[in-house]
């Protein structure tokens, strides 16, 4: 029987019913291990029914057997996810009734999953530069294909605020002319922050300078940016004074105006913070196969207090106290369940990554194959956004070092024999070619293109230039050593 789709208002009402446990589960899934540990300790400080196990061997997240959700109703899933919690439910019929209330009309697994995904997507994230640009896009007159093209262009704007996409690729994908693409890009370049969407530093600074009002040095500044930016960077004041016919004092005013412009307009929307890497996934070799394990030792091992469980059985415990204990145990049960679900989801996704990148562990970056989050999501049986949020800020200790889990997701290029090659693999090959080049005759982008072609990898020169930028490799004329 087909499950009817839920309207937004229906989703919102049903999500509100399950919001506490679902929100807790989803937020825990996104937390790095250090943040999660702090959250668990905080919950223990306000919930007396949650205790840390003195002997960790008494209970372990890794040994808990999870139910198969496809084979159970929502009620069964809540009863069976943890033997310790199931024992609590068996202790007290009233507690069982409390947990079971309303389950006679429980939604199907598909509806449950749909609501879970709705809540996942509703959790607010820190606004990125792209989010800010998309908000402004809705205020423009762009519609239809122009609007879709603008979304595509915004997706190719870097965190620094520059348009870094390949114009030929955009033209091919969108089916629009170069003039049409540039016209839409010009609209984006009118957005805040000033200078966003520029393709070069020169263009970025000129876009900002056009917004400067009442400066007597605007014309000179425009000339310096347009014609003499490299001389300015080299602090060649003698040359600039000569070509601009300015005194050093006047040049100082021009320079101050230019330096008041922002060469990286998008950086204000990047959250800069110190991150301490603490891998929570590690790989072990079992019977010749690499297996992903989640390091549960970094988290407190918790269970529901036997003391409070016994108070529920005691007939002398006042009804009001029992009600409080049930509420606290309920919160503790949700915490334990959410914790298990998080660890198991990370393990499953990590294992899919390990299996998909089997050659990488032996051969390194050159063997990294293209892998998408959608591909892993299908195999694990979750939504693509769940994979995205799971791997964010999570690190894996491997035989080749510590990597962020996001590192293994990469788009690919087609080689001459039709085999997909990871773009990280191509970048690594470019880096190797540059490292091995003759410093007196460095390889141009065209030469790099030919070298890669000899290896069966077809990469456009524009793409090579983009990859050089990612690798922070200067162009050939700046790498030449005499």
- Domain boundary residue, one of 251, 270, 289: 270
The mean pLDDT of 5-26, rounded to a whole number, is 50
| pLDDT surpassing 50 at residue 38 | yes
- 294 inside domain: no
Question: What is the rounded (10 degree) CA torsion for 61, 65, 70, 74?
Answer: -70
Q: Which residues, including other chains, have CB under 8 Å from residue 376's CB and lie 6 or more apart?
A: 349, 352, 353, 356, 387, 409
- 29 inside domain: yes
Instruction: Give the highest mean pLDDT range of 196-200, 327-331, 433-437.
Output: 196-200
| pLDDT surpassing 50 at residue 143 | yes
The residue with greater pLDDT, 59 or 427, is: 427
Adjacent-strand bridge partners of 371: 410
Per-residue pLDDT reduced to its tens digit, 97-115: 333 333 333 344 455 455 4
Spatial contact of 3 and 111, defined as CB atoms under 8 Å apart: yes
Residues 309 and 191 in one domain: no
Instruction: Work out whether strand 281-286 and strand 412-414 pair parallel, antiparallel, or are unpaired.
Output: unpaired
- 351 inside domain: no
| pLDDT surpassing 70 at residue 272 | no
Q: Is residue 421 classed as helix, strand or coil in its secondary structure?
A: strand
Residue 165's domain comprises 127-270
- 402 inside domain: no
What confidence tier does 271 reach under pLDDT thresholds 50, 70, 90?
low
DSSP 358: T
Spatial contact of 118 and 15, defined as CB atoms under 8 Å apart: yes
| pLDDT surpassing 90 at residue 74 | no
Residues 202 and 313 in one domain: no
- 286 inside domain: no
Q: Give the relative orientation of helices 319-356 and 373-380 as an angle to the nearest 10 degrees.
A: 120
| pLDDT surpassing 90 at residue 235 | no
Q: Is the pTM of this model over 0.75?
A: no
Spatial contact of 181 and 153, defined as CB atoms under 8 Å apart: yes
Percentage with pLDDT > 70 across the chain: 76
């Amino acid at each position: 029987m087909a499950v009817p789709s839920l309207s937004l208002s229906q989703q919102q009402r049903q999500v509100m019913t399950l919001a506490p446990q679902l929100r807790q589960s989803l937020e825990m899934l996104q937390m790095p291990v250090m943040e999660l540990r702090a959250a668990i300790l905080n919950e223990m400080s306000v919930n007396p029914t949650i205790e840390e196990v003195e002997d960790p061997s008494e209970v372990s997240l890794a040994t808990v057997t999870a139910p198969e959700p496809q084979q159970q109703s929502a009620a069964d899933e809540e009863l069976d996810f943890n033997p310790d919690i199931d024992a609590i439910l068996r202790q007290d019929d009233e507690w069982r009734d409390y947990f079971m209330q309303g389950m006679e009309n429980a939604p199907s697994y598909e509806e449950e999953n749909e609501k879970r995904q709705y809540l996942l997507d509703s959790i607010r994230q820190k606004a990125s530069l792209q989010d800010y640009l998309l908000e402004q896009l809705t205020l423009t007159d762009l519609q239809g294909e122009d609007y879709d093209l603008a979304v595509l262009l915004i997706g190719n704007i870097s965190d620094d605020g520059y348009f870094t996409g390949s114009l030929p690729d955009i033209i091919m994908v969108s089916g629009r002319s170069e003039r049409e693409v540039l016209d839409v890009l010009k609209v984006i370049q009118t957005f805040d922050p000033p200078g966003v969407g520029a393709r070069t530093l020169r263009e970025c600074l000129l876009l900002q300078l056009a917004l400067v009002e009442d400066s007597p040095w605007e014309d000179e500044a425009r000339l310096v940016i347009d014609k003499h930016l490299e001389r300015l960077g080299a602090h060649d004041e003698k040359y600039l004074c000569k070509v601009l016919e300015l005194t050093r004092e006047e040049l100082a005013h021009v320079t101050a105006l230019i330096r008041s412009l922002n060469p990286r307009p998008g950086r204000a929307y990047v959250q800069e913070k110190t991150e301490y890497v603490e891998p929570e996934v590690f790989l072990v070799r079992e019977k010749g196969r690499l297996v992903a394990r989640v390091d549960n030792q970094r988290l407190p091992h918790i269970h529901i207090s036997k003391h409070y469980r016994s108070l529920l059985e005691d007939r002398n415990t006042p009804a009001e106290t029992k009600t409080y204990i049930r509420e606290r145990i309920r919160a503790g049960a949700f915490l334990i369940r959410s914790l298990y679900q998080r660890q198991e989801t990370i393990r499953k996704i990590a294992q899919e990554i390990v299996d998909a990148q089997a050659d990488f562990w032996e051969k390194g970056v050159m063997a990294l194959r293209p892998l998408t989050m959608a591909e892993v999501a299908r195999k694990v049986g979750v939504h693509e956004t769940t994979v995205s949020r799971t791997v964010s800020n999570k690190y894996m200790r491997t035989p080749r070092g510590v990597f962020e889990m996001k590192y293994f997701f990469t788009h690919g290029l087609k080689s001459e024999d039709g085999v997909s090659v990871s773009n990280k693999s191509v970048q690594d090959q470019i880096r190797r070619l540059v490292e091995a080049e003759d410093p007196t005759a460095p390889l141009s982008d065209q030469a790099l293109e030919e070298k890669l072609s000899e290896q069966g990898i077809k990469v456009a020169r524009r793409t090579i230039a983009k990859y050089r930028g990612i690798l922070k490799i200067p162009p050939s004329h700046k790498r030449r050593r005499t």
